[in-house]
Amino acid sequence: MTNKYVIAPSILSADFSRLGEEIRTCEAAGADWIHVDVMDGHFVPNLTMGPFIVEHCRRITNLPLDVHLMIEKPERYLEAFAKAGASGLTVHVETCPHLHQTLQDIKSLGCKAGVVLNPGTPVGALESVLHLADLVLVMSVNPGYSGGKFVSESFARVAEVRKRLDAIGSSAWLEVDGGINPENISRMRDSGATAFVAATAVFKHPQGTAVGIKALRDAIARVETR
């Protein structure tokens, strides 16, 4: 069964000392994808995980692994992440001078091709590659800065991307990432988002990971029954 709206917990906020258990809990609680935030300490200040962690996740779960590459020259690592078991590879417009080629390369590796915009990048930067994208990700925080604040212009930016996707008849997922919680998720859905990355709202939920996922799912459902 495929949900119309995807919840993709970002393991960035998981307890890495028991990552396997955390991922299995997400799966049992109905998470659709596992989101892996890869940061290189150059494109973004933080430094996180590489293909090894993706490989580890692949052994634990059959859920799609949604790998978000916040790294310079991502083209150097596409094959390594694909081999590690990534289902989708999402690259930043800001890091890819040959974006059209890079998206084609991702597809030729058998992965879904995703493209992502930082909050400061005009939506128009996607125009010439939109038809190639299986997923468009709109960052709703500035990536890689811990405790980054939710960027409220993101609602309008998501709506703008939705308009452009609909205009070309694209069925690409429209994903949001950064500060997503049960309070803002329904407005994101109304703006046109279909996939929701959540880190803190899932893994740091006071009643635990499973309740965190349920709270997001309930919040999306509430919108649908209005």
User: Minimum CB separation from Zn ion for residue 153, in Å?
Assistant: 18
Nearer to Zn ion, 56 or 166 (CB): 56
Catalytic residues: 37, 177
User: Does residue 22 belong to the site contacting Zn ion (CB under 5 A)?
Assistant: no
51 φ/ψ angles, rounded to the nearest 5 degrees: -55, -30
User: Minimum CB separation from Zn ion for residue 129, in Å?
Assistant: 19
Alpha carbon 220 to its chain's center: 17
Coil/strand/helix, residue 154: helix
β-partners of residue 66 are 35, 88
Judged by CB under 5 A, the stretch of 35-43, 74-82, 125-133, 158-166 that binds Zn ion is 35-43
Judged by CB under 5 A, the stretch of 29-37, 51-59, 107-115, 209-217 that binds Zn ion is 29-37
User: Minimum CB separation from Zn ion for residue 212, in Å?
Assistant: 17
Rounded CA-CA distance 12/145 in Å is: 12
Q: Which single residue brings its beta carbon nearest to Zn ion?
A: 68
User: Does residue 177 belong to the site contacting Zn ion (CB under 5 A)?
Assistant: yes
Q: Which residue has the tokens 């790294």?
A: 71
- Contact indicator for 143, 181 with CB cutoff of 8 Å: no
If binding means CB under 5 A, how many residues of this protein chain bind Zn ion?
3
Name every residue whose Cβ is closer than 8 Å to that of residue 155 and which is 6 or more positions away in sequence: 187, 188, 191
The residue from 22, 32, 37, 40 that contacts Zn ion (CB under 5 A) is: 37
